[in-house]
Amino acid sequence: MGRKCFISFKTEDADYKEVIQNDLDIDMIDKSLNEAIDSDDEEYIMRQIREDYLSDSTVTIHLIGKHSAEERGKQEQKFIKRELQASLYNGENNTKNGILGVVLPNMYDNIYLGTSSCTSCGNLHNTIKVDNTTTIREFNYNYYIPNNRCSHSYEDRYCVLVKWKDFYIAPEEYIEQAFNKREAPISNKTKVYPN
């Protein structure tokens, strides 16, 4: 079943957005936020983004490239931050979107670090570096939702993460995973404005 998707991306990664739009058979809408909403009222901003840009979508595809990290500064990231905040927002006439993070090839080596031995439990874990140096806070908090354990299982994460090469082969599979997170128990632990 096709899902309606909103694509959150940095201008530098527009070529990947175009591939998704033109080369992949995905039921999606294209309403990217191109201008800031002139208001200091967070509730109003979230409502406008949801109503005007995200209202028809159920999954937000967030392209993760070299220019989409928190450390680049809040002003530079204001569009993708607002898009993910609005995607995570549950309110009147709004339901939260599933969040699918698609790691672009130029970020593979920064995010997928292989396996390492855990200092807490001694087991081997896959090391996936999803933090403020690789993604924005709205994504990394909801990928690694605090759980007081040394590792996170699939059920412990709200955001879904996939490499571009895998997404390109089976986009509907990963979109469906993100869509299903909306009803999963972890959905109750997401934060729209993480610290």
pLDDT tens digits, one per residue of 37-53: 777 787 787 677 777 77
pLDDT digit string, tens, across residues 50-70: 777 777 788 999 999 999 999
Is the Cα torsion angle 194, 153, 26, 96 positive or negative in sign? negative
Q: What percent of the chain has pLDDT over 70?
A: 92
pLDDT, residue 82, reads: 84
Q: Where are the domains of the chain?
A: 5-189
Looking at residue 178, its amino acid is A
Is the Cα torsion angle 80, 27, 14, 51 positive or negative in sign? negative
Q: Confidence class of residue 33 from pLDDT cuts 50, 70 and 90?
A: low
Q: What percent of the chain has pLDDT over 90?
A: 51
Task: Tell whether the model's pLDDT for residue 163 goes beyond 70.
Answer: yes
Q: Confidence class of residue 31 from pLDDT cuts 50, 70 and 90?
A: low
Query: Which are the contacts of 47, defined by CB distance < 8 A and separation ≥ 6?
Result: 91, 94
pLDDT digit string, tens, across residues 3-13: 888 899 998 99
